[in-house]
Structure 1
């Protein structure tokens, strides 16, 4: 602590780069270009070598790609599995039985939330939203649930609870942990984020339910007819260009158009499966959730004192990806036969990689910039200098400004939460994780706060805000579009429940995990 820290021009350039990226996020523009420019300027200021500075642009994204490729691979394999299940209509069969337990609007609210949460944990909210909206939302509306209430349940459970922990696929905790430093475990961040997401979501769902319970009506087919008669509200076109990511693609690039609005149409959809495939369709509708449930058990049971070996490093991601790959191959074999499945399975994997890079590719230059300031081997590889000469720019800045940082853990926790929420304003959710992770890694040791907990707090702020609960130009627009409600009405209805949940979960994190 007594070591003198010299702040160089590179430190100030790095700080200016962080400020520029945050400002760009606030203005809802894409931060890839500012990240690339900032990486170049930081490298130039540190090495004084234009050749190395130009090379750092490539090195930053390349290093980030190497560190995060396991995430891309898991996304690709899980997406490939989902595409294989769609061929058999097994994805529809997985949730179709839940229509039978929707008896009234009260049960409908919680059934929508529960099913959305589980599907989103396995496949992300992108396919979960249209699937639930097509199969379960019409039944919920018949049961008396207002469309706005359905949109709230889906958004909180999917874009909020499931995506903010991202416990199964592990994209968010992987980015947060890697940005915080090599000593931070993605599995540990995922564990903390899971509990915080459940606290936040539990508070948000409870407040949302009490805010709409008096609007729930008696079951009636006329409610569905009125809902079906509503035309699009134009929000998709109005917000299409807003934010740093094309959220319209989320609403359009789905396998369902919302047409499964009654039992007859649902039966027609399922009967479209060829007779020889029906058995396989039912089998994979059962086998897929059971397989992923076993994966969850392997991940969770060691933490409950069962004596089972804990998964280390990237073992959890490898298990999820391997399970998805085997299920995808088996489902493709069942749907297309032994010979044609060789080609179709490869097409599913290719489509999975296309989706993975479309969804997460722009994160690489952003992560690369923050890795530049993290020090150690990552910064050395980017700046092309020996490891001992690589600067820890962000850590140095925090250390030098330690006197200005209140040594109050509540202040620090809510500061990281607010930073995460600010980065979520651009409507992506994930683009701010390199910043919140790096900031947690620098602030934690300085103020004596658990780094893993800080990472999880920042992750909550970024994803609950930008992932699709508080920003009209986020993927919330897809939820509102399928529910046929104005997206701004959804934002207004969700703001108080979500903010209350984030405050409570952050306080719990300070009290119990610091």
Structure 2
């Protein structure tokens, strides 16, 4: 019979405090650091050891995330190189001729954002395609606010919550879930992701059509047209070859059944090669010696800026998982995983079933997303799925996928205003207005996904 004590109660108290801070839109990095120190002291009874545990927790967390940080950084560096030679404009320019009405613009802009975001993440993708396709979408009659909604839901929602190719989100969740291969999580997420995506996009499209019918003469915002200047032949070649190379990567991943780190390595290596080739073409080999270093450095600055808070937040939540708790706390109290102990304790004393577990997982996931960073809650999501699945007969990969989808849709940048600023700025709309438009479709999607999980998990 599992027993819980002061260590467990304090850990839960810190989690509750963190959730309250999220609800009030406060940063949770400091509470996580303080929480690690408190838990370290209770577990060891030694001030010196508790100070060391703070550092150990950050190192363990960084070690868990390092592969993800590297791939994101390399892809960001490649994106910057392509922008420098204006290959990004040429790559998406042909799409503009097909955007002739609001409906076509909604789906063409959306699926372009989805595909590009799968390979370079939504934040770089906004800069990658936003300034090229937004003017065409506006001219077709799609209001600026719905241009922003389209980019947001397809990019920060559909692409980021699935992350099929870069596999950053599945890798984080899988680590906490206790499985080494993110492919199993991705496979389990397909049905839930499809339900969430389709229900949200369809709801949003219906609302968009209703708005246009109600306000057909609404004055559309204009943005600057893309400069019509001569593009070098080498730029055109790069613009054509780069997508083809990544399409080839997809084929190779499928053909040789590359999964997890192997698939990520292929994408990352390709990004490095493209970055180097682009730099040589633009600057010549001699100047490229320095320019490549600059691009890579900029990429890692972006990667660390995104993941620095995730490392700290993850360090606290990794205390709840058995594998990482042992590395951080050493053998002794808490090394079996604090949340694991609590989950087993609850399951032994209180009746739980599939429906209650799914509702709890979904509610916690939504609260974690309120912090505005869908990724920071993924370690806890994976840990909870592992705990719940050890107590009842439920698919742990599916339960973790449910939490990942809800957390990222909420916190990855669809209904949290302060995380909507990049897209809102490109489309010249207010972040709070964008969040308001997203709220109902995302809520409908979450409800549909929870119902699907109850039926099929």
TM-score under structure 1 normalisation?
0.83
1:113 alignment counterpart: 110
Given that residues 365 and 381 in structure 2 are in contact (C-alpha distance below 8 angstroms), is that contact kept between their aligned partners in structure 1?
A: yes
Work out whether residues 480 and 486 of structure 1, in 8 Å CA contact, stay in contact via their aligned partners in 2. yes
- Residue 26 of structure 1: which of 23, 28, 33 is its match? 23
1:429 aligned to which of 331, 349, 374: 374
- Higher mean C-alpha displacement, 42-51 vs 406-415: 406-415
Of 157, 161, 183, which aligns to 1:160? 157
Over the residues paired in the alignment, what is the CA RMSD in angstroms?
2.2
Match of 1:267 in 2: 228
Alignment of 1:194-273 (within 5 A): 194-216=190-212, 226-228=220-222, 259=224, 261=225, 265-268=226-229, 271=230, 273=231
Q: Which of residues 182, 186, 189 is equivalent to 1:190?
A: 186
1:351 deviation in Å?
A: 0.9
* 2:285 is the alignment partner of 1:331: no
Deviation of the 1:356 alpha carbon: 0.5
221, 232, 235: which one pairs with 1:281?
235
Contact 1:90 1:282 in 2 (8 A): yes
Point out 4+ residue stretches in structure 1 off by more than 6 angstroms.
Answer: none
- SS at 1:94's partner residue? helix
Deviation of the 1:129 alpha carbon: 1.9
Q: Is the partner of 1:136 in helix, strand or coil?
A: helix
Partner Cα separation in structure 1 for residue 350 and residue 29 of structure 2? 29
Deviation at 1:406, TM superposition (A): 4.8
Q: Does the aligned pair in 2 maintain the 1:10–1:43 contact within 8 Å?
A: no
1:80-119 maps to which residues of 2 (within 5 A)? Answer: 80-119=77-116
SS at 2:413 equivalent: helix
Q: How does 1:327-406 map to 2 (within 5 A)?
A: 327-376=274-323, 378-385=324-331, 390-402=335-347, 406=351
Distance in 1 between residues matched to 2:369 and 2:444, nearest whole Å: 17
Cα separation, 2, equivalents of 1:493 and 1:223: 17
Q: For the Cα contact (< 8 Å) 1:173–1:186, is it kept in 2?
A: yes
Deviates more, 1:132-141 or 1:112-121: 132-141
Aligned to 1:297: 251
Q: 1:147 aligns with which of 136, 144, 147?
A: 144
Q: Aligned match of 2:42 in 33, 40, 45?
A: 45
Q: Does 1:14 align with 2:38?
A: no
Residue matched to 1:247? none
**Pair 1:136-2:81 in alignment:** no
Give the alignment's TM-score, normalised by structure 2.
0.93
Deviations 1:67-125 (A, max 9, x none): 11000110111011111111211111111110011111111111110111111111111
CA distance in 1 between counterparts of 2:428 and 2:438 reads: 16
How many Å apart are 1:195 and its aligned residue?
4.7
Residue 57 of structure 1 is matched in structure 2 by 54
Matching residue of 2:433: 489
Q: 1:92 to 1:501 in 2, by over 3 A?
A: same
* 380 and 467 in structure 1: CA distance in 2 versus 1, 3 angstrom threshold: same
1:427 and 1:133 map into 2 onto residues whose CA distance is 22
SS at match of 1:473: helix
